[in-house]
Amino acid sequence: MTRYCLAASVEEALALLEEHGGEARIMAGGTDVMVDIRKGKIAPRCLVDITRIAELRQVTVEGEWVNVGAAVTFAEIRQHPFIAQNVHVLAEAARCVGALPIQTAATWAGNIVQAMPAADGALAAVALRAEARIVDATGAQWRPVESLFVRPGVSAVNPCRQIITHIRFRVPQGSWGSAWSRAGRRESLVLPTLNCGACLTLGADGAVQDAVIALGPVAPRPFRSRQAEAFLCGKVPDSATLAEAGRIAQGESNPRTSPTRASREYRLALIPAMVAQTLEAAADRAAKRASYPLPPR
Amino acid sequence: MDATISFTLNGRTVTVRSDPSRTLLEVLRNDLGLTGTKQGCDLEGECGACTVLLDGVPVRSCLTPLGKVQGRSVLTVEGLGDPERLHPVQKAFADAGAVQCGYCTPGMIMGAAALLMRNPNPSRAEIVDALEGNLCRCTGYAKIVAAVELAAARMRGEAAEAAVSGEKVIGGDSVRVDVAERVTGRTRYVEDIPMPDALHMRVVRSPHFHARVVALNADKALQVPGVLRVLTAADIPGQNSIEGYSKDETVLVPVGGTVKMVGDAVALVVATTPEAAQAGAEAVEVDYAPLPVVLDPQEALSPNAVSIHADGNVLSTFAVAHGDADEALAASDVRVDTTYRTSYLEHATLEREAALGYIDEAGRITVVSGTHEPHWHRDFVAPVLGVEPSQVRVITPPTGGSFGKRQDPWLAAATALAVYHMRRPVRIAYTRRESFDASPKRHPYTCQYAVGATKDGELTGLRLRVTANTGAYDSGGYWIPNYAVVAGGGPYRWRGVDAFAQSVYTNGPKSGQMRGYGTPQSNFALECTLDELIQRLGDDPVEFRLRNAIRQHETTWLGYPVAESLGYRQVLEAIRPRYQALEASARAFNECERGSWRKGVGLAGMWYRFGKYGVPRVAAEAELGLDGRFVVYCSAPDYGQGIATVMVQLAAETLGVSRDAIRLVNADTATTLDSGVPGASRATYWVGGAVCRAVTSLREVVAEAASEMLDCPPSAVVLTDDRVMVQGDAARSVGLREVAAEMERLGQSRKVTGVFDLREQFPQHEREMYTPHFVTGAHVAEVLVNVATGQVRVTRVVAAHDVGRAINPRDAQGQIEGAVVMGLGAALLEEYVPGVTTGFSDYYIPTAKAMPEIEVILIEVPSYQGPFGAKGLGEAAMLPAAPAIVNAISRAIGARIREIPATPERVLMAMRQGGQR
């Protein structure tokens, strides 16, 4: 028999975790937790449902910062007007998680804590250089989401001791754009063969000032193609440059063969074009965004 | 400790005391009696059949813990509307023909209702986005999307309710019988039938591909609280076999026997709860001694291969020799040699295998389970129990899809065995994983072709070798080689044919019966091989087929002429303009387009033998009830294909009354006659023929009795829904109830038998497997191929089929649309890999996102013998889809795809390797 608690506040949720000494578990939508319980991977004595905590259910946009509460669902994220219009990498990644009736429950924080190398939400967070606010008995701290993946299925966040309360990321002023691509054995309800999120900042001269390229599953964690990112800096994102960036990203990647999805060779073969096309879309959006005013503070 | 959870359910407050981590789905179904919401997977959120609305938002109730809904509002399909007051979405699904087996329907309806609540004017893309997480296996999604558009238009006040067309019964757009129950979640599939005191059963299955069963110990299992009995082969009172269906398969593998596939059944555990049965199954200790495993048919044929069955590794073969194939091939100007491969496929019906067994009021061991013909299952169950068939009863309930899966009588036999011993009701439902592991599959084929033609495009010779992988057991696949060869040569004139097919055992899952029964695979290989030949000749795909098509009345390469009108010429002529237009548009697209996408257009034809072999004689009954209503008794199980509706339509049309005047009693061995060997798309033609005969006879006896009462000649009476009138004098009439009462008073039988007997037209022939009934069709597929990634989108399919006579055109369309999408799945997505594939998460059936624009062209070249000229359709519709799609891909990329599924990876590799593979 499992106890089920609808926490009314973060403090209450923490207290419940303490009370159960590691045998309670934070749960938001439950779309991963329920499956893990059924499969016998976890057996919590208490489920601490955080979806009624008001402060965790907000999306706020303040200046350059977007702050997404941990209980905001992927459906709400993709439908949020600011995110839908400006943060394509996140809106489109949210669209790819399972299907709509899963997105209506599943959360970004939950996706990150599940710690799979190709998790769409996790990858988008890495592309955005997002930070997660982690609260536990010792206090609260913001940590880069990229640092939270230990190995496949294992997060640096312990959902029996800690709570992610918020995820935030910066949408810089000026020419910033993002994009998302995904390849799979079919177009819905499938784990990815390859997915890619990219964010680009362009300078006034049209050259890349900052690039973030997140790729999965090409490593045990959501992967940053840092060599490709470095290559892009200072260069105008024309087709030849993007193609080269794609090739560099391919060189840094180390995908596995998955018998039900794709071989390592095929994944490698896809990388250059997927990275190039994602970067191109991000660059287009960055270029267009320079001509629009920013949202009011 | 139990929690107390209160929430609003369908507008009322309910309180449940239970473990709050239980899924909402289980609570709805088991605690609250709301069985409209379905379980299609193993509670892993994979199929969408469990969709309910939580505060107006669609969620997977299989992933929603009960505790989460505290204080919130849940809406299920039962709450959306009831049969007297349908919600517009439910009504639109019914009116648009969007309900076939109905199992995915509640989930689809809830998803659609939620969409329309927040977006009253959704685009097609938005509808697909809302529903792409809901799997459907029957409809191909086309009419589901159309239903949502219709509902939206009606809710906006822009479309009127459909007027009920009272005139035509046949050929009109006829809404399915019982659809109101299906769209409101009232239909009771097996798992929905309440039987509170039923026991629960689980199967103990081999984890090994091949092993000897050294010992079995049930002691620990029997100590699990709730476990009542563990049944093994030793507990089988009759014969431990289902021979006649599967010649070499036991019901339970005995100690000392060998398990030959993963999932082979060794024991049955019966308990008071499903959890106890599961725990008990896990506690049965079986000692296995692994044996060498062979999974590849070629390896199984090699001399050193381990022998899976006593008589070696070949189950059956079939050969056709016509003319001199070698000489014909030698005389060719162009010759093409190919090898084509297909994969294991799984039916993946939305309803998992399930059965409910009990002892009925007459003391018969009764099994309620999906079947293709209940007498068929009864006849295999009775010998297992060592009893007469009359002591067994099989009832076919509303069934959530079959596609051949439910032909396998194993489940009925196992359930009956449990009831035999327990003398109490027993229920069983496979897990989705179990269904994937242990249920029959489609045979993988390797087809080696050599075909030739003259430079004028006339076919010369055909040499064909087919190896079919039948897995561990026969499983109703004994005749596969015959079907492989017949489909492998097609509706074409060959000067010489040398065709041979064999079914080979391996330790893969048993290959059995699946839509088309061994024909889609070889038809795929043939139609792609012909396309290669056509390209080499620089010929046109339509003209080539017209030129070489078999002609009515001439002896075919099978050695006999076809028995029914063939229709292939008409099909090809109908599809020709569509093919030409699409082909031209694809060429224009490719010339302009600079990006990664290339368009391709492909065509494929087929013939499909419908009706099966055996004695061509089927019987049905019709009765005038004491309530004045006509009753038809027949055995035509409806597992979604709409045959129950067709039977009612045929009866109504024959009698000249409306559908509502007909009641159908269907598919219960206690009350309906045996229809003979089931399957092969035979029901409309054969059972329909019998139904027409029966109601014609009934009309005669009713007219006879009524004419006495009305004092007029029998030929002068006219039947209506509730009266019999004198022609031209409506004042002289008598109610059907009064006629029935009068017949009863006079001791006249109100029930007659009708027999559809074509033995004279089709006498037993000296040639083996003489079954001369064929239907034909052709598809054109338009695809977009991404040459950088190998991804394929099927954008459009035109499907032309000769159906003889469309009894229910909209349902015929629905069957074709579903078959096209199933063919798309086989062509691009689906591949069951033994030891690897586990379920919906790694077996990719098409979602709504994959749905192409489908245009259906129904050709009606009436059959000579079938009721109102009808033929068969359900399986045939699938055949041309995969080869049309693969031909389109091959033409788009300039390289041949020789293996399906043509995954993006395979397509990319084909492009990289270039030319022939």
Q: Which of B384, B137, B411 is nearest to B263 (CA)?
A: B411
DSSP 8-state secondary structure symbol assigned to residue A151? E
CA–CA separation, B438 and B441 (whole Å): 9
CA–CA separation, B223 and A151 (whole Å): 41
- CB spacing of B789 vs A183 below 8 angstroms: yes
| Out of B20-24, B468-472, B650-654, least confident range | B650-654
A269 touches chain B (CB under 8 A): yes
In Å, how far are A193, B516, B841 from B45, measured between CA atoms?
20, 30, 9
For residue B328, give both structure tokens: 């014909």
Name the average pLDDT for chain A: 95
Q: Are strands B365-369 and B314-322 parallel, antiparallel or unpaired?
A: unpaired
From A45, which residue of chain B is nearest by alpha-carbon distance?
B21
pLDDT value of position A173: 85
Residues 6+ apart with CB under 8 A from B322: B494, B496, B497, B557, B558, B559
A181 touches chain B (CB under 8 A): no
pLDDT, tens digit (0-9, with 9 covering 90-100), for B356-376: 999 999 999 999 999 988 998
| Backbone angles phi and psi of B687, in degrees to 5 | -70, -40
Q: Which of B412, B404, B354, B42 is nearest to B193 (CA)?
A: B354
- CB spacing of A259 vs B21 below 8 angstroms: no
DSSP 8-state secondary structure symbol assigned to residue B747? T
Residue written as token pair 């794709």? A262
CB contacts, 8 Å: A2 with chain B: 19-21
CA–CA separation, A148 and A132 (whole Å): 9
pLDDT value of position B613: 58
Q: Determine the average pLDDT of the residues in B70-92.
A: 97
Let me know: does B440 contact B510? Beta carbons within 8 Å. yes
Let me know: does B394 contact B381? Beta carbons within 8 Å. yes
Q: Which of B82, B90, B98 is nearest to B173 (CA)?
A: B98
pLDDT, tens digit (0-9, with 9 covering 90-100), for A70-108: 999 999 999 999 999 999 999 999 999 999 999 999 999
From A37, which residue of chain B is nearest by alpha-carbon distance?
B21
CA–CA separation, B3 and B465 (whole Å): 64
Q: Determine the average pLDDT of the residues in B905-911.
A: 95
Residues 6+ apart with CB under 8 A from B244: B379, B380
Count the Cβ atoms, other than its own, within 10 Å of residue B702. 26
CB contacts, 8 Å: B842 with chain A: 260-261
Q: Determine the average pLDDT of the residues in B764-782.
A: 81
The number of angstroms, rounded, from the C-alpha of B211 to the middle of its chain's C-alpha atoms is 33
Q: Determine the average pLDDT of the residues in B324-328.
A: 97
Outline where DSSP puts E strands in B232-299.
Answer: 258-259, 265-271, 285-290
| Amino acid found at B365 | I
Q: How confident is the model at residue A294 (pLDDT cuts 50, 70, 90)?
A: very low
CA–CA separation, B558 and B251 (whole Å): 37
Residues 6+ apart with CB under 8 A from B752: B621, B622, B623, B694, B697, B698, B701
Helix (H, G, I), strand (E, B) or coil at B514: coil
Residue written as token pair 């190919």? B338
Which of A2, A75, A186 shows the shortest C-beta gap to B21? A2
Distance from the B66 Cα atom to the nearest Cα atom in chain A, whole angstroms: 9
Beta partners for residue B339, in sequence order: B448
Let me know: does B470 contact B434? Beta carbons within 8 Å. no
Q: Determine the average pLDDT of the residues in B482-509.
A: 97
For residue A278, give both structure tokens: 């994602």
Q: Which of B359, B356, B355, B362 is nearest to B424 (CA)?
A: B359
pLDDT value of position A297: 36
CA–CA separation, A217 and A116 (whole Å): 9
Let me know: does B745 contact B582? Beta carbons within 8 Å. no
- CB spacing of B45 vs A31 below 8 angstroms: yes
- CB spacing of A273 vs B788 below 8 angstroms: yes
Residue B613 CA neighbour count, 13 Å, CB half: 11
CB contacts, 8 Å: B133 with chain A: 98-102, 188-189
A15 touches chain B (CB under 8 A): no
Distance from the A284 Cα atom to the nearest Cα atom in chain B, whole angstroms: 17
Model confidence at B269: pLDDT above 60: yes
| Amino acid found at A6 | L
CA–CA separation, B273 and B257 (whole Å): 30
DSSP 8-state secondary structure symbol assigned to residue B27? I
pLDDT value of position B302: 95
Q: What is the ipTM of this complex?
A: 0.95
Outline where DSSP puts E strands in B260-419.
Answer: 265-271, 285-290, 314-322, 334-341, 354-359, 365-369, 392-395
- CB spacing of A38 vs B3 below 8 angstroms: no
In Å, how far are A123, A213, A216, B105, B715 from A127, measured between CA atoms?
6, 6, 11, 39, 83
Q: Which of residues 37-76 of A touch B (CB under 8 A)?
A: 37-38, 47, 49, 51, 75
| Amino acid found at B250 | T
Which of A38, A186, A260 shows the shortest C-beta gap to B850? A186
CB contacts, 8 Å: B791 with chain A: 183
CA–CA separation, B599 and B582 (whole Å): 10
Residue A12 CA neighbour count, 13 Å, CB half: 13
- CB spacing of A273 vs B67 below 8 angstroms: no
pLDDT, tens digit (0-9, with 9 covering 90-100), for B795-833: 999 999 999 999 889 989 999 999 999 999 999 999 999
Model confidence at A13: pLDDT above 60: yes
Best B19, B57, B63 member to test A by mutation, with max A CBs in 10 Å, is B63
Model confidence at B683: pLDDT above 70: yes
CB contacts, 8 Å: A185 with chain B: 829, 844, 903-904
CA–CA separation, A70 and B682 (whole Å): 57
pLDDT, tens digit (0-9, with 9 covering 90-100), for B837-846: 999 999 999 9
Question: What SS3 string covers A120-143?
Answer: HHHHHHHHCCCEEEEEECCEEEEE
pLDDT value of position B758: 82
Residue written as token pair 């349908």? B86
Name the average pLDDT for chain B: 94
Model confidence at B675: pLDDT above 90: no
Residue percentage of chain B with pLDDT more than 70:
97
Which of A4, A104, A273 shows the shortest C-beta gap to B21? A4
Q: Which of B457, B721, B736, B757 is nearest to B618 (CA)?
A: B757
Which of B111, B789, B909 shows the shortest C-beta gap to A101? B111
- Longest Cα separation, chain B: 85
Tell me the whole-structure pTM to 2 decimals.
0.95
- CB spacing of A273 vs B789 below 8 angstroms: yes
